[in-house]
């Protein structure tokens, strides 16, 4: 069975991409993926020009602009690729919209520091006629796409229960300390968006949070547990555990991310390779349907990081060619951002929060 694990690609691969940011995500993920796909990054700028120059040299990018503003003034750039902290994204997006030179923008998740900023970014792009897509890259993890295929072709039947169980220790970035939040907008947003990719929009979410003992700066969402309720009766449940026990403090580690979809006609389960060593470890899937004697266990060589980043740029370029909305368009992504916002509200008020309370 073709599990459709690879992203569709645009007809044109020579779209001129201007990159903003030169940290790990840009240097080790975006640009590595673009090289594999044959995409065309032509310019880069960063907060620190020396870092941008080093990144450009490593990836053979011809133009290094001395500032982000200078890159935004470069009229030869057709697509803007952002890899900056969420509280810096909106100003860059608005500046790009005011200049009106680029045709498309690929923004990081989360799309801003909160739902209000995300809405402002979407509105600005629509007013400027710029296509906005969001880098919700877990949708392009190979096992996640395989799971979607099994749902779409009916192999496992109507979904009854789905779970994502993350026992991982993320590397929090310095900018998160000034945000005062960690897991929901950085890790859980992947899982919430994956549930939306698999099953569509839930009616409501119930979330319970506690702090992570390892994370020293002030935060309220270190460990997150939440249930997304669907009108069909489906329940999608996640545990995002950034503690995992004292794995860094002297105890053996038990780290991983597993997902599971139980349907009326079959079962699919996967293991995400992201938190393995090395980070390029492929994810896996095993699945079986009624009448099977054993689980089918296909394999592949690609991994979430960096190969999924081919898909996130490709879906924007395809949208620019077709004139249709990107697969992960900014307007649609507002629902993912709204569910994250609803999760915070749910935890504060100790109640389930409906999607339409946030996303009108």
Residue 171, pLDDT score: 87
- Domain presence at residue 200: yes
How close are the terminal C-alpha atoms of the chain, in Å? 40
Residue 201, pLDDT score: 98
> Do residues 129 and 204 both lie within one domain?
no
> Do residues 155 and 291 both lie within one domain?
yes
Average pLDDT over residues 272-296: 93
Higher pLDDT, 36 or 173: 36
> Do residues 286 and 313 both lie within one domain?
no
The string of pLDDT tens digits covering residues 117-154 is 999 999 999 999 999 999 999 999 999 999 999 999 99
> Do residues 147 and 289 both lie within one domain?
yes
Tokens of 18: 């201007």
The string of pLDDT tens digits covering residues 17-43 is 999 999 999 999 999 999 999 999 999
Residue 1, pLDDT score: 87
Comparing CA positions, the residue from 138, 191, 169 lying closest to residue 343 is 191
> Do residues 99 and 237 both lie within one domain?
no
> Do residues 42 and 183 both lie within one domain?
no
Q: In what order do the strands lie in the sheet containing 204-210?
A: 284-289, 266-272, 256-263, 159-167, 235-241, 223-229, 204-210, 353-354
For the chain, the domain total comes to 2
Average pLDDT, the chain: 97
> Do residues 248 and 173 both lie within one domain?
yes
pLDDT at 279 over 90: no
pLDDT at 349 over 90: yes
Q: Would residue 34 be called left, alpha or beta, if left means φ above 0 and alpha means ψ between -120 and 50 degrees?
A: alpha
- Structure confidence at residue 280 as a pLDDT band (50, 70, 90): confident
- Residue partners of 354: CB distance under 8 A and separation at least 6: 203, 204, 342
Residue 277, pLDDT score: 79
Question: Domain range holding 90?
Answer: 16-135+309-326
The string of pLDDT tens digits covering residues 30-80 is 999 999 999 999 999 999 999 999 999 999 999 999 999 999 999 999 999
- Domain presence at residue 7: no
For 329-343, the three-class secondary structure string (H helix, E strand, C coil) is EHHHHHHHHHHHHHH
> Do residues 348 and 269 both lie within one domain?
yes
């Amino acid at each position: 069975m073709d599990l459709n694990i690879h992203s569709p690609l645009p007809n044109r691969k020579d779209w001129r991409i201007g990159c903003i940011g030169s940290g790990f995500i840009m240097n080790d993920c975006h640009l590595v993926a673009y090289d594999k796909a044959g995409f065309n990054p032509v310019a880069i700028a960063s907060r620190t020009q020396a870092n941008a120059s080093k990144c450009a040299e490593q990836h053979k990018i011809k133009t290094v602009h001395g500032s982000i503003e200078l890159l935004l003034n470069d009229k030869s750039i057709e697509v803007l690729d952002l890899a900056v902290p969420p509280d810096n994204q909106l100003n860059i997006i608005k500046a790009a919209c005011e200049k009106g030179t680029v045709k498309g923008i690929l923004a990081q998740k989360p799309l801003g520091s909160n739902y209000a900023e995300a809405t402002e970014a979407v509105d600005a792009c629509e007013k400027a006629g710029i296509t906005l897509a969001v880098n919700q890259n877990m949708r392009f993890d190979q096992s996640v796409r395989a799971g979607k295929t099994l749902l779409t072709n009916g192999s496992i039947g109507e979904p009854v229960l789905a779970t994502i169980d993350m026992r991982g220790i993320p590397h929090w970035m310095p900018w998160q300390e000034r945000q005062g939040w960690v897991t929901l907008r950085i890790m859980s947003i992947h899982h919430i968006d994956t549930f939306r990719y698999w099953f569509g929009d839930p009616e409501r979410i119930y979330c319970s949070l506690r702090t992570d003992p390892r994370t020293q700066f002030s935060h309220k969402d270190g460990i997150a547990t939440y249930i997304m309720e669907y009108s069909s009766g489906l329940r999608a449940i996640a545990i995002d555990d950034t503690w995992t026990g004292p794995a860094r403090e002297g105890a053996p580690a038990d780290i991983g991310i597993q997902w599971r979809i139980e349907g009326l006609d079959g079962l699919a389960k996967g293991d995400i390779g992201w938190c393995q060593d090395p980070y390029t470890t492929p994810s896996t899937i095993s699945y079986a349907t009624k009448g099977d004697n054993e689980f089918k266990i296909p394999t592949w060589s690609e991994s979430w990081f960096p190969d999924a980043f081919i898909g996130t740029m490709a879906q924007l370029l395809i949208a620019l060619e077709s004139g249709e909305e990107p697969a992960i368009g900014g307007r649609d992504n507002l629902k993912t951002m709204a569910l994250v916002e609803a999760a915070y509200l749910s935890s504060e008020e100790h109640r389930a929060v409906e999607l339409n309370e946030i996303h009108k």
